[in-house]
Amino acid sequence: MNTTQHVASLGQSLWLDNLSRSLIRDGTLAKMIAEDRVSGVTSNPSIFQSALASSPYYADDLARLKASEPDVERRYEALVIPDIQAACDLLLPTHEATGGNDGYVSLEVAPRWAYDTAHTVEEAKRLSAAVNRRNLLIKVPGTPEGLGAFEALTTLGINVNVTLLFSVAQTQAVFEAYIRGLGTRAATGADVRRSKAVASLFLSRVDTRVDEQLTAIGTQEALSLRGKAAVALAKLAYQRYLKTFHGEAFAALAQQGATPQYLLWASTSVKNPDYRDLLYVEPLIGAETINTLPDKTLDALRDHGQPALRVEEGVAEAAAQLAELARLGIDMDAVGNTLQDEGVKLFDAAYQKLLQQAG
């Protein structure tokens, strides 16, 4: 058993935070699935922007689409949906072997609809139909409007990856939206056993922002907290997960065969070179969790990772660290809201560049 297989044996799913036609055609993704037990794939506008810029396999299709498809967004979708479908097909055996609990590929709704509930719902329905794979997750942002869309989509039976979460409060709101959506679906008599959702909590950006504030404060006490906020909030978010989905709030739905909304650790490549490259991996290994890793972080885990169940360790210390941040005047909910708004803007900027490439 290699290191990545060991992580999977501990109950955490490893998903690849990358997708391109090159990964599919040269067999790299298939190899990761077979040898590393990679059991899912996440994509976003930044990932596809890089794919179109670096992979040689899009040029012919793009030239053909420029001659036949005048709408640049439909042109972009025509380029990437086959990649999503191919990744779904590669992961279908995983999906079937886990009874629909794993083996998913994520595709994002255009970021410009992040603050528009109705359009997000319609776009999610359209993209879901276009991909036509049962192991697809539609990515919807965790904005207030996105949560309304998520709840509606859950009621409709469309599976969702709620993205751009940066705080415990945002994560809890997502859990509650999932339970409401499933409850409404169950009340109509619809089957909830095939419903699936994940909640993507972004980590490295939290530390980057909080570290800036701690450095500005400059005291020894403040500086000692650098690089600790993201893992602390992830550990507390996991405690909320356990309380929510293994408690009374979810009990009735669980009896009907509904599955919990797993936490997904996102933005797991370290931004500060002084930090250990597996800072957002090793401390957060735990059952019923997902970690989505860029290639470089997956390589690091395979090379020198030390897997162990750690996500439930040091919870009191994590709570104390966040309490100390609050005492220093750092409001983690405000940090989360700011980062979420910035995340929408960053994804939209990447999406606009992507459309320029497809144009």
Residues recognised as catalytic: 139
Handedness of CA 152, 252, 9, 102 (dihedral sign): negative
Radius of gyration of the chain (CA): 20
**Contact yes or no for 317/310 (Cβ under 8 A):** no
Residue 88 in tokens: 């779904």
Q: Hey, which residues does 139 pair with through a beta bridge?
A: 108, 161
Residue 321 in tokens: 């660290």
Q: Which of 265, 310, 269 is nearest to 292 (CA)?
A: 265
SS3 letters across 247-276: CHHHHHHHHCCCCCCEEEEECCCCCCCCCC
DSSP 113: G
Per DSSP, the three-state class of 139 is strand
Distance of CA 106 to the CA centre of its chain: 8
Q: Residue 264: CA atoms inside 13 Å, Cβ hemisphere, count?
A: 31
The beta-strand segments (E) located in the chain are: 12-16, 38-41, 104-108, 136-141, 160-165, 197-202, 262-266, 289-293
Residue 119's Cβ-count burial label (10 Å; 0-12, 13-18, 19+) is middle
Residue 73 in tokens: 């967004």
